[in-house]
Structure 1
């Protein structure tokens, strides 16, 4: 088999970016997907290649079938196959149920739910035997924090899609799991939160700190590489917060 190949959606920032660079260090050829931030995507590619790895950046809206198909086509034409898909692309909208902006809710559903179906469809058709598919949920599902109902609902859908896909790929030797991070120091998490809120969340876990993108990238690396007996699971990577 040719070199192992990973697609990382949302690979230009945050957990996706850290995961892409980690997989590059692990020896994967990496396809860094991004929706709009070409500068950061190119920086991720440069970081991977500077460390001796192989990578390309490919723009695609994860909710658009034609664009995601082209993303997978680019991976196959450049690196001759696909072994791992890390679906880290996502967006977050917070509001009390009483005050929901339904246009904002629909936009988040489009990325988080439809995007998981679109990426999952291509991954289920194209990932090679011995491969892995990893999606991202959230530990907020267990915390049940006010204002998080819109976001948590989309991630509950991600968990359902992922667990069912694991069973649908029976006999293919492809693992399918979802990672549910706790509070993690990414732009997605920090945006709009004051210092007191961040400090409160940082001390909620027994380890008394926020997660770092590297914490999640370590788990991505494990699920993408040596782990072959963890399948159909939601892994709560949150420092013990729930």
Structure 2
């Protein structure tokens, strides 16, 4: 059975100080998919993520989530609707403990009691349970990324946006995170859209990819093409 479209943009424009970065982005993501947005630095991938979650206003076009227009809603309201966002650089609360960071995520709107919800997160990310009383700012980059993802998952989103999840992380931890995200997708049906340049992570996670160039989607890659490392590498250097 073909699943419904959960996220869709049409002719989306956004930028900074009157200078356009996104220049008419069209994309469509169905429930339960893992979709990557790839392309070289500076083509607008992170701006797209910030615009989807509401940190950047859109200038033209539309954003729909679960069939409703959301492009005029605040980021907070989008999060309440079920969109989780892990920014580039992770942005954990450095002076707060791992446990306290997770509680912040739970406040977004999950109905489950915090204890049970946190146990679920610890099941996916055991290092967070081991370091639960440690200040987040003292964790390694990979541990902070796991915490940032866990914090978002505490809010029980139906869609999670990941911006460069491999940035500054050791290769073995990158593969651990990719594996866990695929497990989460299979176990819960959560939809994942992620921006990435790490070829191994793209191939490990993505079911299909959108290619960005100069603020536009210029190509779509299917699963078969993802198996061709040279082809994917070429798209990363467009």
Normalised by the shorter chain, which TM-score bucket? 0.3 to 0.5
Q: Which has the higher helix share?
A: 1
TM-score in terms of structure 1 length? 0.34
Q: Which has the higher contact order (CA 8 A, sep 6+)?
A: 2
TM-score in terms of structure 2 length? 0.35
